[in-house]
């Protein structure tokens, strides 16, 4: 980031293949503004995509999504950044579809895509699929995106996931993605007001399939950005890691940079001039008032004068505000947030986070794995001491470090096992 200009944010991104996949079909892009001018026109951009398709098709689709969205968004020449974001996602869809149609190996390849732009007018999200964007604020985590999945669509239509029909719905079936079709419906949410210490998270469903919203929110709240991304990925892998996982955490550290510009939002220039129809209307009303006066129809004169005054006042308001005064808003008018959860650090959450560490410790003992638990033990002892001192956030930090160390030990064990297998052959 530029020393000459404070971007007002800090962020961290991390992607991982998981425990059962051979290749990583996730992709991400983090493009913070490096100048006040660039921030004023396009803000900061973050994108996560989760590809699908045989062989390398999904990997290609997600890479194309992040690259094309960023390229078209920043190359756009229009003043409206929100519409530029929508257009960029649409252009990415067209490019992925064309690539899929031109090569039988990539036929019907697709990808989810969730893009977050932090603009002077606020935070805006454009998305397709079930990769999510969250906002953490004041101990509350909110999901800003609607999952384009069969489960969510059924629930939205009134069918509960707890019903007989709902229980039978597979959770991994998505209803929209970039690539399979020449055009796609894109959801645009926001702009959402950006406040001091707001924290945003973008992720693929590899994370949300195994880590609950309250866990995500609490870890975001308790940890610095790099540790938060690391422990979220490691916790997912400790719980099985059946899918690729990608996490981007963005924290607003210096809100005056954003707030000062947000207080002077750019208006739609198409409405910036005083309407000629309003001017003509005021003139016509005055002429009509004069005619009624000649006819001595004083009641109609009063009505005509009132209409003339209304038209004149409207003209004055437009002239003083430079137009309609409305902040550029997405045409779709999103309805988020869609879900919210408590992100409070508690003893129960501390213990829940440590469950897999406990299970892995027992498995290591039963299978005689060569794992060194001294550092993990030390961290968890400090965590328990923090709990006794009623410092739940500090306890969560120690538990998070224990999870990261446990995952490091597990990787070393896997590497030793792989080396032994190769030597046997």
Q: Do residues 186 and 127 touch, judged by C-beta distance below 8 A?
A: yes
CA-based nearest residue to 95, from 27, 183, 174, 175: 183
Instruction: Write down the number of H helices and E strands in the chain.
Output: 15, 12
Q: Residue ranges of the chain with pLDDT lower than 50? A: 1-2, 256-278, 310-311, 313-333
In 22-156 the beta strands, taken as DSSP E runs, fall at: 26-31, 44-52, 110-111, 113-119, 122-128, 132-137, 140-143
- Note the pLDDT of residue 6: 84
- Note the pLDDT of residue 166: 56
Type and span of the H or E element at 293: helix 276-294
User: DSSP assignment, residue 46?
Assistant: E
Strand, helix or coil for residue 102: helix
User: DSSP assignment, residue 108?
Assistant: T
pTM reported for the whole predicted model: 0.80
CA-based nearest residue to 360, from 228, 263, 273, 238: 238
CA angle (153, 159, 165) in 5-degree steps: 105
CA-based nearest residue to 46, from 64, 31, 33, 34: 31
Q: Do residues 243 and 18 touch, judged by C-beta distance below 8 A?
A: yes
Q: Do residues 47 and 202 touch, judged by C-beta distance below 8 A?
A: yes
CA 357 to each of CA 178, 329, 407: distance values in angstroms, whole numbers, following the listed order? 38, 46, 9
- Note the pLDDT of residue 417: 75
Type and span of the H or E element at 396: helix 392-424
Type and span of the H or E element at 339: strand 339-342
- Note the pLDDT of residue 157: 81
Q: Residue 425 burial (CB < 10 Å; 0-12/13-18/19+)?
A: exposed
User: DSSP assignment, residue 105?
Assistant: G
- Note the pLDDT of residue 154: 86
- Note the pLDDT of residue 170: 74
- Note the pLDDT of residue 267: 32
């Amino acid at each position: 980031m530029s020393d000459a200009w404070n971007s007002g944010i800090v962020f961290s991104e991390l992607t991982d293949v998981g425990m059962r996949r051979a290749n990583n079909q996730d992709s991400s892009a983090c493009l913070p503004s490096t100048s006040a001018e660039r921030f004023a026109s396009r803000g900061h951009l973050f994108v996560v995509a989760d590809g699908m398709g045989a062989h390398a098709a999904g990997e290609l689709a997600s890479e194309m999504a992040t690259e094309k969205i960023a390229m078209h968004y920043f190359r756009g020449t229009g003043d409206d950044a929100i519409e530029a974001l929508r257009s960029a996602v649409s252009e990415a869809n067209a490019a992925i579809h064309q690539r899929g149609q031109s090569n039988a190996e990539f036929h019907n390849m697709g990808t989810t895509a969730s893009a977050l732009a932090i603009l002077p007018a606020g935070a805006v999200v454009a998305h397709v699929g079930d990769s999510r964007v969250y906002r953490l604020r004041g101990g509350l985590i909110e999901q800003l995106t609607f999952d384009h999945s069969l489960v969510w669509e059924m629930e939205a239509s009134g069918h509960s996931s707890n019903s007989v029909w709902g229980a039978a719905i597979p959770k991994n079936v998505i209803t929209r993605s970039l690539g399979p079709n020449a055009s796609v419906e894109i959801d645009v949410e926001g702009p959402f007001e950006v406040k001091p210490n707001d924290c945003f998270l973008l992720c693929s469903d590899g994370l949300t399939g195994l880590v609950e919203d309250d866990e995500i929110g609490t870890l975001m709240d308790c940890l610095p950005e790099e540790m938060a991304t690391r422990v979220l990925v490691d916790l997912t892998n400790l719980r099985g890691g059946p899918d690729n996982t990608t996490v981007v955490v963005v924290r607003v550290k210096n809100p005056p940079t954003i707030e000062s510009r947000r207080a002077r939002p750019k208006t739609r220039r198409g409405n910036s001039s005083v309407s000629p129809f309003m001017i003509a209307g005021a003139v016509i009303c005055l002429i009509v008032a004069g005619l009624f006066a000649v006819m001595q129809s004083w009641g109609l004169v009063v009505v005509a004068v009132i209409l003339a005054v209304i038209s004149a006042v409207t003209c004055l308001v437009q002239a003083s505000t430079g137009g309609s005064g409305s902040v550029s808003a997405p045409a779709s008018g999103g309805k988020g947030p869609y879900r919210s959860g408590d992100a409070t650090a508690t003893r129960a959450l501390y213990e829940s986070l440590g469950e897999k560490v406990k299970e892995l410790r027992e498995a290591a003992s039963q299978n005689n794995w060569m794992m060194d638990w001294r550092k993990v033990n030390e961290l968890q002892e400090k965590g328990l001491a923090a709990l006794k001192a009623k410092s739940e956030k500090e306890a969560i930090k120690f538990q998070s470090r224990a999870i990261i160390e446990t995952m490091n030990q597990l990787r070393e064990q896997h590497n030793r096992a792989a080396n032994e297998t190769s030597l046997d052959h």
